[in-house]
A and B are shown apart, each in its own frame.
Chain A
Amino acid sequence: MKKELIELRINGRTHELAIEPNKLLLDVLRQDLGLTGSKRACDDSSCGSCTVQVDGVPMLSCTMLAASCEGQEITTVEGLADHDGLAALQKAYGDFGGAQCGFCTPGFMMTVRWLLANNHDPSEQEIREALSSNLCRCTGYSQMYQAIRAVIEAEQKSTPTEMVGAK
């Protein structure tokens, strides 16, 4: 298939790319841009390891055409860290054991980030439901809840304008 020029806005930067129109967003991120944080694990949008945010909404980049994202703001896990350190959620996942092998973790980061952006005080059930779009084979999810709860509690304790790390 002949390549075409497109422009993708990823993590706040615009990239001009020559890609086949049928190329998937995940492959463009991983192969063309070297953004290998998003993972391919299932091939058929059942596991969530490839989750990125498109205009703030978690989307599965393994079943999404890159060309369809032109003009939209794409955020990958590489765009999640604070300027000089880990985002609170990233630190909490480390401290509480929310990541073991880490392969599913970038996808969870994008899903949980969306959850916390849209719901400042999610219930246990709401957290579980949000996480059910992503699969993990290591943790049994328990320590992820602890990490997420810690982030929520830390945010609630801090002033609205000031973000603090978990713990």
Chain B
Amino acid sequence: MTDFSVIGKSIAMVDAAGKTTGAGKYTDDLSLPGMLVGKILHSVYPHARIKRIDTSRAKALDGVVAVVTGADAPNPYGILPVGHDETALAVEKVRYVGDHVACVAAISEEIAENAIELIDVEYELLPAYFDPVESMKAETDLIHENRAHNIEKDYHHVFGDLDKGFAEADYIAEGRYLANEVTHAAMEPHSTLANFELDPHTGKLGRLTVWSSTQVPYYLQHKLSLVLEMPMSQIRVIKPLVGGGFGGKSEIIPLEIIAAVAARAARAPVKITYTREEVFWAHRGRPRTIIDLKTGVKNDGRMTAVACKVIQDGGAYCSYGVVTILYSGALLGALYDIPNIRYDGYRVLTNKPACGAMRGHGTVNVRFAFESQMDEIAAKLKLDPAEMRRVNLLKPPTVTVNGLRVLSYGLPECIDQVVTRSGWKERKGKLPKGRGLGVACSHYVSGAANSIIRSDMPHSTVNIKIDRDGSVVIYTGASEIGQGSDTMTAQVVAEVLGCEIARVNVIAADTDLTPIDLGSYSSRVTFMAGNAALRAAADVKKNIVSAAAKRMNCAPEDVIMRNDRVWNGGTTLSDYDFTASDSLGEKEAARGHVDGQILRGSVLQTRKEDGPKDHMSFEEAVVAAIDFHGALTGTGSYAPPAAARGGKHKGGGVGPSPAYSYSAQVAEVSVDEDTGEVTVHKVWAAHDCGRALNPVAVEGQVIGSVWMGLGQALEEEIVWKDGLLMNPGLLEYRSPSSTESPEIECIIVESIDPEGPFGAKEAGEGSLAATIPAISNAIYDAVGVRLRESPFTPERVLAALRAKKGMKRIEMTESVDPTAPEKFREHGGSLWFRGKGPMRHPLDPARQGTNAGSPAGGGD
């Protein structure tokens, strides 16, 4: 059936009014009686051993209730079972400027900040590693003792016969690409509120409730249990509204555990909210990535082999790193038909904040390299870049050489759409000088087929309760983070039950109330929680249908539920005119009194009308079902099928997904050859999301992805100086403002996936990766320079333009190359360090003669 009554129509998010009126509550909007404010002391050194922490002066300050350090919660944790290398507060060592050292809980923010200054920490400085290539040479003073050469993980995969593949090639392209580091910069700074209830019998601390800005409440519950040594059943995690995540809240951020540790020590509720600068230090963004790529092609553009070496600058902790480096290799497959692939990935530790998962996890930077190199090959072989992509299409259903199963595949139509709409054939190469068009493609998983913690449990479960008043309550662990997960769930259930969406209430992401769901990451929610919701609704619908069939004297197969009505489809009533006047809200329900209780119309009717009927309202059907079956509940769950779980090779668990989204984009840019400034005029973005359950939300996700890719392409860049972040603010870390954001035309392509809920797939991430190479390729079309390092800032574009003309490079700013630490420049000042700036690196000439081991909180 393709005639839907709820899905496929654009509707406002079910929580939209709370957002536009300011009534919706995010974590930092919450407070509890007696709540304390927590403030965190961070490391000012990139790599140092903690010799001594003295908190006595801080504890003595009036208004301070508790001061906690690493010794209060020494159990290690990490989002991946193989990467339990973090502690909430530093134990023995700090590993980056900004590492968490101690936390003060006090009765006011001001007192907590003052107390932070009174904590004495004595450090012994250790050599620090800032560049991944240098870091890999390390023999001593390793960042983590059990990681030789500071390599978190390396993988070496070969699929097919690489030598044969390259031998068959008519042309082989080779190149190095560099994507600099970017971060999520979600508008809501991380925030956590933790509260212990007192045990009613002993008066000791009992159950813990944590409200947190998280994409993964169940993982948070798990890690809290690990660190606090409490059973998971004693911990309740509630996710209020979340102000954007993009992956930055998809793992456990230290403050989430620190707040609980501080609340335990203070025996009072503690709320910690990061400052914006602390958010930048918490990071978990997309790592700086060095990509060496080699592609062999036939003269017609068909690829014969790809060899890719990736080095990721992972920062000081594992975080999602092992998964990131695997995604970078695995997602070389499943977009095009590549018969032979070699992948060498190195995830390297450095003394900088940990990188983690960010929108398009693992695939974005490699896709930039790959699509750029395709464009170079097309130019070399004089092929149309769009055509070259067409000759390399997969022929689904298929399993790629690296074990990824592809069923639905809307990429051909995506390419057709953007080529047609952008006027590619007529305009490419014919625009005025300085203006150009570029094309690129990308794809992404609709959730990982294998969960982080290996088990056979379902990835998503949804419960539904329907009561006599006709209200449908959905309990889902899926985490709404602004992407529309609650709305999607409500739509799917309303569609299956044939009821108005206004009947549906979604209770989400509360570990006490909702069944387990892995969380909002790797674009898994629509596919997995959507399928679980579909099954739960079908489960509960069975009982309504059987009761309604009895009431209407018809077979259950004949019962139709739609538009808030239930009728016997075997009669002429199948073409009953269900006009808007029947819909919920517009009809005046009869009211009356029974035994002193005020009852709504439907309940009264069922008591009066017991005879056969040929149609009934949704409420009547529900009441009939409850009278017949008792409580009306349904449950459904989803686990990816075995066929979609990938190959058996080491690391083969990352990359497989039950379905992949596809995207093709054309960008139109102009380049100012005097200044190197790139202006993006328009992006045509076609995205195959399987089926658009809520088209306005799909467009919002696609446009948002393209826009975020545009930011990484043009201006977003985390700049380091000896482990010190140079731009930790929303003004310094530049994301495109409304005046710099071009028109993005979103074209939805619906390939109808055989396993997705109503055929739906991923929409929130896949488009991002195509934008960066589309812009880079358009710059090449405009001015003939190939940019192999992102972002394409005026400085880099101008340098490339001048190099092409054989002119000398203009050094507009001093080098910020982390491989050249002999050069130093002034730190621009910092809110978080109260303008004092942290201590300098020991090699810094400005530090010569000072005491390297002086306490923190000093500065220069």
Genuine A/B complex = yes
Q: Are B22 and A36 interface neighbours, CB within 8 A?
A: yes
Which positions 120-134 of chain A face chain B at CB distance < 8 Å?
127-129, 131-132, 134
Is B28 among interface residues, defined by CB-CB distance under 8 A?
yes
Q: Provide the B822-836 mask, 1 if CB < 8 A to any CB of A, else 0.
A: 000000000100000
CB proximity of A86 to chain B, nearest CB, Å: 6
Contacts of A138 in B (CB 8 A): 187, 244, 482, 700, 704
Query: Most chain-A CB neighbours within 10 Å: which of B19, B185, B242, B739?
Result: B19
Which positions 13-49 of chain A face chain B at CB distance < 8 Å?
30, 35-44, 46-47, 49
Q: Are A99 and B244 interface neighbours, CB within 8 A?
A: no
- Select one of B17, B26, B187, B246 contacting A135, CB under 8 A: B187
Q: Are A100 and B483 interface neighbours, CB within 8 A?
A: yes
Q: Provide the A124-150 mask, 1 if CB < 8 A to any CB of B, else 0.
A: 000111011011111111111000000
Known contacts A30-B29, A42-B276, A102-B18; is A141 also within 8 Å of B741 by CB? Answer: yes
Instruction: Give 18 CB contacts A-B under 8 Å.
Output: A41-B187, A42-B730, A47-B187, A76-B22, A81-B21, A91-B20, A94-B12, A94-B20, A101-B245, A104-B243, A127-B738, A128-B739, A129-B739, A132-B739, A135-B737, A137-B244, A138-B482, A142-B703
Contacts of A154 in B (CB 8 A): none
Is A103 among interface residues, defined by CB-CB distance under 8 A?
yes
Q: Are A94 and B741 interface neighbours, CB within 8 A?
A: no
CB proximity of A112 to chain B, nearest CB, Å: 11
Query: Most chain-B CB neighbours within 10 Å: which of A78, A104, A141?
Result: A141
In the complex, A30 Cα to B27 Cα: how many Å? Answer: 13
Q: Are B737 and A43 interface neighbours, CB within 8 A?
A: no
- Select one of A90, A101, A140 contacting B244, CB under 8 A: A101
CB proximity of A28 to chain B, nearest CB, Å: 13
Known contacts A101-B188, A143-B699; is A41 also within 8 Å of B20 by CB? Answer: no
In the complex, A142 Cα to B704 Cα: how many Å? Answer: 9
CB proximity of B39 to chain A, nearest CB, Å: 14
CB proximity of A81 to chain B, nearest CB, Å: 5
Contacts of A131 in B (CB 8 A): 737-738
Question: Which residue on chain A has the smallest CB distance to residue B484?
Answer: A100
Which 4 residue pairs of A and B lie closest in terms of their CB atoms, listed nearest first? A37-B22, A102-B19, A101-B482, A140-B707
Contacts of A47 in B (CB 8 A): 187, 730
In the complex, A101 Cα to B739 Cα: how many Å? Answer: 21
In the complex, A46 Cα to B185 Cα: how many Å? Answer: 13
Is B143 among interface residues, defined by CB-CB distance under 8 A?
no
| Count of inter-chain pairs, beta carbons less than 8 A | 182
Known contacts A37-B21, A103-B243; is A143 also within 8 Å of B703 by CB? Answer: yes
Q: Are B741 and A103 interface neighbours, CB within 8 A?
A: no
Contacts of A99 in B (CB 8 A): 13, 16, 19-20
Contacts of A103 in B (CB 8 A): 26, 186-188, 243-244, 482
Question: Which residue on chain B has the smallest CB distance to residue A90?
Answer: B20
- Select one of A38, A42, A78, A143 contacting B21, CB under 8 A: A78
Q: Are A101 and B187 interface neighbours, CB within 8 A?
A: yes
Is B821 among interface residues, defined by CB-CB distance under 8 A?
no
Query: Most chain-A CB neighbours within 10 Å: which of B22, B700, B708, B739?
Result: B22
CB proximity of A165 to chain B, nearest CB, Å: 12
Q: Are A135 and B735 interface neighbours, CB within 8 A?
A: yes
Q: Are B706 and A140 interface neighbours, CB within 8 A?
A: yes
Question: Which residue on chain A has the smallest CB distance to residue B26?
Answer: A103
CB proximity of B831 to chain A, nearest CB, Å: 6
CB proximity of A103 to chain B, nearest CB, Å: 3
CB proximity of A21 to chain B, nearest CB, Å: 13
Contacts of B22 in A (CB 8 A): 35-38, 76-78, 80, 106, 109
Question: Which residue on chain B has the smallest CB distance to residue A31?
Answer: B31
Which positions 62-78 of chain B face chain A at CB distance < 8 Å?
none
Which positions 51-106 of chain A face chain B at CB distance < 8 Å?
76-78, 80-81, 86, 89-91, 93-97, 99-106
Q: Are B729 and A44 interface neighbours, CB within 8 A?
A: yes
Which positions 40-69 of chain B face chain A at CB distance < 8 Å?
none
Contacts of A38 in B (CB 8 A): 22
Q: Are A140 and B735 interface neighbours, CB within 8 A?
A: no
Known contacts A46-B729, A103-B188; is A90 also within 8 Å of B21 by CB? Answer: yes
Q: Provide the B679-708 mask, 1 if CB < 8 A to any CB of A, else 0.
A: 000000000000000001101100110111
Query: Most chain-A CB neighbours within 10 Å: which of B241, B243, B696, B739?
Result: B243
Q: Are A136 and B187 interface neighbours, CB within 8 A?
A: yes
CB proximity of B12 to chain A, nearest CB, Å: 4
In the complex, A135 Cα to B28 Cα: how many Å? Answer: 19
Is B189 among interface residues, defined by CB-CB distance under 8 A?
yes
Contacts of B28 in A (CB 8 A): 36, 40
Is B481 among interface residues, defined by CB-CB distance under 8 A?
yes
In the complex, A142 Cα to B706 Cα: how many Å? Answer: 11
Contacts of B810 in A (CB 8 A): none
Known contacts A41-B188, A131-B738; is A95 also within 8 Å of B729 by CB? Answer: no
Q: Provide the B174-199 mask, 1 if CB < 8 A to any CB of A, else 0.
A: 00000000001111110000000000
Is B24 among interface residues, defined by CB-CB distance under 8 A?
yes
In the complex, A103 Cα to B20 Cα: how many Å? Answer: 9
- Select one of A81, A105, A128, A140 contacting B704, CB under 8 A: A140
Contacts of A96 in B (CB 8 A): 696
Q: Provide the B477-492 mask, 1 if CB < 8 A to any CB of A, else 0.
A: 0000111100000000
Q: Are B243 and A102 interface neighbours, CB within 8 A?
A: yes
Question: Which residue on chain B has the smallest CB distance to residue A124?
Answer: B743
Contacts of A77 in B (CB 8 A): 21-22
CB proximity of B497 to chain A, nearest CB, Å: 24
CB proximity of B682 to chain A, nearest CB, Å: 11
Question: Which residue on chain A has the smallest CB distance to residue B702?
Answer: A140
CB proximity of A116 to chain B, nearest CB, Å: 15
Question: Which residue on chain B has the smallest CB distance to residue A30?
Answer: B29
Is B731 among interface residues, defined by CB-CB distance under 8 A?
yes
CB proximity of A151 to chain B, nearest CB, Å: 12
Question: Which residue on chain A has the smallest CB distance to residue B12?
Answer: A94
CB proximity of A104 to chain B, nearest CB, Å: 5
Contacts of A132 in B (CB 8 A): 737-739
